[in-house]
Structure 1
């Protein structure tokens, strides 16, 4: 974080400053800002976030012992550290992020990118960060820091030397993206897709589309929006963007896309395509990341990088060095005999279907496809139907072993059985331990194994165990 005095921070937060030791209002703080006491170091600021199961106020003393010099609290705590008392610690975190980013932006170097979409945010963020980091200090979220805590924490990592801030915005409710993106007003926004992920929390996919469009409304007038024109709900955001004086760049495989892909090929070693940009020769792209669905993410990153001044060929060259999109996202594990693809950080109907298609595409004629599948959460009243659809798709893709884990995913298993997967081709197991015991005896040389579920189901840990077993 840029250096601010304790008095300046208190003024920004409209909080009560309680000094400790030899601190004065002029004492300067410039360390990390976080709600996790384990992340504290010398000069850090600890935000005591109340929680449903743990209360950050109980860790203020621990944060001080780790080197923190300021705590933002909702009530005074008996601990050896200066404190600013505010009504809402999470709200104060957002206020501080807004102020810090505004001060850095005023220096004239910082360009801000905002990314949203039902799927692909983290992969696109990592791709774009890989491209931009060679041109200047780039701040991007760790993992999927895209909520009301993670997004401001990422923003607060900017310094006077930061050239690019890449923010990822998730939406758990209407108005959330508007709030988070409104903290920084991105110069460039990227909308990847509108899908069924979290649709249960919005009341349907059309309401999800409205939530994603909040990023367009938060983009600075005169800025740029990168839109997936292969998705009709995203393409429909163009008039709203252009109405605000925002330049729209479309990406996709449609001929009308400004940055488009053709001749997509997927293999066990990666994903290839040809990238075309009007007025330029065709550019071959060889991604190390698995899956045809990542071509769309790559196009978004390339289009954004071009808008930020990076030539297409340079962006592609840098993008090809990215080995893994993110841990637990199409992450290859295991060995050449038994290859594990751990893609269980998140799951929606769209990403589940894409992962299954990738599994089918990368498996050779003498190899066997094995899909280890758990529940997709946050789908609301559509959950049953969407699990049915994935069960049908797995059978129609000729996935040879379908291993369904957990009671919440049983309907997927029933659907697969109903579609004709029988004679042990599909099995239902109660939990991860049962699945591990089954798979360690079932898997054999030549198997290509996909592990996929929503984060809360936790199959990513099963994927790790299988990866270690066959390493």
Structure 2
């Protein structure tokens, strides 16, 4: 974070400053800002956020022990640290993030990219950050820091020398992206796709479109919307950008895309394609598995192109990435048994893409095994979407379907109803039972996909299976 005095912080967040006796209102802070006391460093600001299972106020002492200089609190805590009392610490860090970014932007060359979409946000964010980091100081979210807490905490990592801020914007309901993106008003807004992820929270696909369009509305004057030419719902956002006087550039497979891909091939060692841009054809060889990640790469290349980075340079940097993110198409195991751990998150679109990738990378003499858990936040669409995935798994001729958890039982029943062509699907109540079964079931030549939403916890099952064959 930039350097601020305690008095400035208090004014920005609208709080009451309680200064420790050996400090003054002019004492400066410039360290890390975090809700986790374990991440504190000397000079840091600890945010005592109340939670569902615990209360950050209980950990102010631990933050002090780790060097925190200031605590943002909702009530005074009996600890030897300067405190600013605010009505809501989440609103306070949003206000602080807005001001910090505005100050850096006002006197520097900071460029801001916002990314949203039903799938692919974190992978695209990581790809773009990989491209940008060789150009100058780049701040991007850790893991999926894309909500009302994570997004401001990421923004607060900018310094006076930061050249690029990449912000990932998730949402569980209308208005959330508008609030978060409105803190920084990106120079470039990237819209990946609109699918069924979190549709339950939005109330349907049209409401989801409206919510995702909030990022285009939030563009800074003179900004650019980077849109998916293959998704009609995203393409429909172009008039919004144009009405604001902003530019639109396109990525995708469609011939109208400014940056497009062709000849996509997926193997167990990676994903290859040709990228057509500015009249040139550039081969791209990604180590990341999955045809769907080509679209994420195109989005990152297009955003970087808007920022003045040549596509060939971007592609060369993307080809150095071994992994998009832990638990996202992460390849584990060995030459005998391959485990693809993609269980950090799941939506109907990403589940389908992962299953297709499993089928694509498996040779005729090998066996496909899909270990599947529930997809979260689908609301009234939950049943039909789990049905659809169960049917798809069978139609892709996945040879062993292992369903885990009661929330995914509908998927299991649908797969049975469709009729697996090589053995009946099996169901287990929990990951431990599934692990015991798979220990005896997996054999040489198996390609195993582990896929579920985060809440299902199958990412840890994927890690355990990878450990068996490491």
Is this a same-fold pair by TM over 0.5?
Answer: yes
Deviations 1:41-65 (A, max 9, x none): 1000001111121111111111111
Deviations 1:248-300 (A, max 9, x none): 0011000011110011100001001100113x320100111000000110000
Counterpart contact for 2:399–2:421, Cα < 8 Å: no
Aligned counterparts, 1:5-404, within 5 A: 5-278=5-278, 280-404=279-403
The whole-number CA distance in structure 2 between the counterparts of 1:108 and 1:412 is: 52
**Match of 1:118, SS?**
coil
The whole-number CA distance in structure 2 between the counterparts of 1:262 and 1:246 is: 28
Deviations 1:439-469 (A, max 9, x none): 0100000000000000000000000000001
Measure how far apart 1:423 and its partner are. Answer: 6.9
**Match of 1:151, SS?**
helix
Measure how far apart 1:21 and its partner are. Answer: 3.1
The whole-number CA distance in structure 2 between the counterparts of 1:304 and 1:369 is: 36
Q: Normalized against structure 2, the TM-score is what?
A: 0.99
Measure how far apart 1:104 and its partner are. Answer: 0.6
The whole-number CA distance in structure 1 between the counterparts of 2:421 and 2:268 is: 28
Measure how far apart 1:420 and its partner are. Answer: 1.0
The whole-number CA distance in structure 2 between the counterparts of 1:26 and 1:15 is: 16
**Match of 1:347, SS?**
coil
Deviations 1:95-125 (A, max 9, x none): 0001110111112310000000000000000
The whole-number CA distance in structure 1 between the counterparts of 2:69 and 2:188 is: 35
The whole-number CA distance in structure 2 between the counterparts of 1:332 and 1:106 is: 43
**Match of 1:226, SS?**
strand
May I ask how many residue pairs the two structures share in their alignment?
Answer: 470
Q: Normalized against structure 1, the TM-score is what?
A: 0.99
Is 1:430 matched with 2:408? no
Measure how far apart 1:173 and its partner are. Answer: 1.1
The whole-number CA distance in structure 2 between the counterparts of 1:253 and 1:424 is: 37
**Match of 2:263, SS?**
strand
* Unpaired segments ≥5 residues, structure 2: none
Q: Flag the 1:423–1:242 CA change in 2: closer, same or farther, 3 A.
A: closer
The whole-number CA distance in structure 2 between the counterparts of 1:342 and 1:53 is: 28
51-60 or 177-186: which moved more?
Answer: 51-60
**Match of 1:106, SS?**
helix
The whole-number CA distance in structure 1 between the counterparts of 2:332 and 2:407 is: 26
**Match of 1:71, SS?**
strand
Provide runs of 4+ in structure 1 moved above 3 Å. 422-425
The whole-number CA distance in structure 2 between the counterparts of 1:102 and 1:359 is: 45
The whole-number CA distance in structure 1 between the counterparts of 2:64 and 2:48 is: 12
* Unpaired segments ≥5 residues, structure 1: none
**CA RMSD across the alignment:** 0.8
The whole-number CA distance in structure 2 between the counterparts of 1:208 and 1:102 is: 29
The whole-number CA distance in structure 2 between the counterparts of 1:403 and 1:359 is: 14
Q: Flag the 1:355–1:212 CA change in 2: closer, same or farther, 3 A.
A: same
Aligned residue in 2 for 1:414:
413
Counterpart contact for 2:178–2:214, Cα < 8 Å: yes
**Match of 2:153, SS?**
helix
Measure how far apart 1:422 and its partner are. Answer: 6.7
**Match of 2:280, SS?**
coil
Deviations 1:121-141 (A, max 9, x none): 000000000000000000000
**Match of 1:72, SS?**
strand
The whole-number CA distance in structure 1 between the counterparts of 2:67 and 2:261 is: 50
